[in-house]
A and B are shown apart, each in its own frame.
Chain A
């Protein structure tokens, strides 16, 4: 199985560091997915949700409030201002949802992006 390394860093620390199969990112000009062996890319990120397909199976969701991503062939580094890890293999952490919502609503980007992301957070909440 092809995997790549993913790192999500904020000024206050490393939020996620691990091997992944695929990652979906909220780019400034639209959401995009990255698979291993992707060409080098640097993109601005909007506020939104990062969806990660873990190498060991399972999905991790991280809410961010904007930043950058640098994609290499076998490594993806996200540099963001703030991030909340909503769920990992062990399941959704309920109290993190509120925190994530707050983070998204405070973000200084377009309302559409925030509304979409908050909507997604709400739907995760309902599916609990």
Chain B
């Protein structure tokens, strides 16, 4: 039986933890709102850029050239696969990071079973720490980006992948991240960014006048556009992951706060029991003392 003092100390510490977790939950819910807002605003950009790619693709198909750009050429058996994955910079968010890491490991095994070489590019401290600990080599790592998504930084990170892809150093680029579904649900998302799936491009006939291009070269324009599109996908994945991270943390912290409250309750009961027991023993001692003096 723990002493009264011990129990009291324990109650105090659990209460303190409860306060921290409650505060963390509130912080995460505020940050989640901001991340959601960010995601919503960037959606306009996605819509515009897909419209533009569609239109240029249509223009190319009209000119009876096929999309034989490196960006669109899919390789049957990719020799080198780049896996870009996003984890959080901080923990205390339930299974958020471990889910992503699990998926990355699974994909890595799958590709390696097919005979491809897998190169990892990590974003976020937690993922980097995991693979370092397990002595798995990473090609590229960056932290500080997943907790504060920045378009320029995201673009320069993914541009390295694109450059490697275009020069033939890799044949496939996949982005893995834990995405936001709603406040309480996250979902692992795997985007195959390169090669670009040409069948996704849905060009519709435009009624306007003939499209003029400047510089007058479909390929350069399309190439630059596709590159920008991929940069955007990367950026969006970061925002999505951030929102999911905060969602996960909110949930984890909510559970932690509830657990702390439950623990305080049961500890208080134990404390009262121990206190009563002590009083009873003391009383018995006094009474028996008085009895013996008679």
Q: How far is the CA of A73 from the CA of B211 in the complex (A)?
A: 11
- Residues in B with CB closer than 8 Å to A81 are 151-152, 155, 228
Q: Is the CB of B210 within 8 A of A42?
A: no
B113 at the interface (CB under 8 A from A): no
- Residues in B with CB closer than 8 Å to A12 are 38, 41-42, 151
Contacts across chains A and B counted by CB atoms under 8 Å: 80
Contact with A along B6-48 (1 / 0, CB 8 A): 0000000000000000000000000000000010011011001
Q: 27 pairs across A/B with beta carbons < 8 Å? A: A7-B48, A10-B151, A11-B45, A11-B151, A12-B42, A12-B151, A13-B42, A14-B41, A27-B214, A28-B215, A29-B214, A39-B209, A40-B206, A40-B208, A40-B212, A41-B212, A41-B214, A42-B221, A43-B215, A44-B221, A44-B224, A70-B48, A70-B52, A73-B209, A77-B52, A82-B151, A82-B152
Q: How far is the CA of A55 from the CA of B182 in the complex (A)?
A: 41
Q: Is the CB of A68 within 8 A of B214?
A: no
Q: Is the CB of B45 within 8 A of A10?
A: yes
Give the number of chain B interface residues (Cβ < 8 Å).
Answer: 29
B235 at the interface (CB under 8 A from A): yes
- Residues in B with CB closer than 8 Å to A68 are 52, 225, 228
Q: Is the CB of B41 within 8 A of A13?
A: yes
The residue in chain B whose Cβ has the minimal distance to the Cβ of A41 is B212
Q: Is the CB of B44 within 8 A of A14?
A: yes
Q: How far is the CA of A9 from the CA of B116 in the complex (A)?
A: 39
Knowing A13-B44, A14-B41, A77-B48, the reply to whether A42 touches B212 (Cβ < 8 A) is yes
User: Residues of B with Cβ closer than 8 Å to A?
Assistant: 38, 41-42, 44-45, 48-49, 51-52, 55-56, 151-152, 155, 206, 208-215, 221, 224-225, 228, 232, 235
- Residues in B with CB closer than 8 Å to A14 are 41, 44
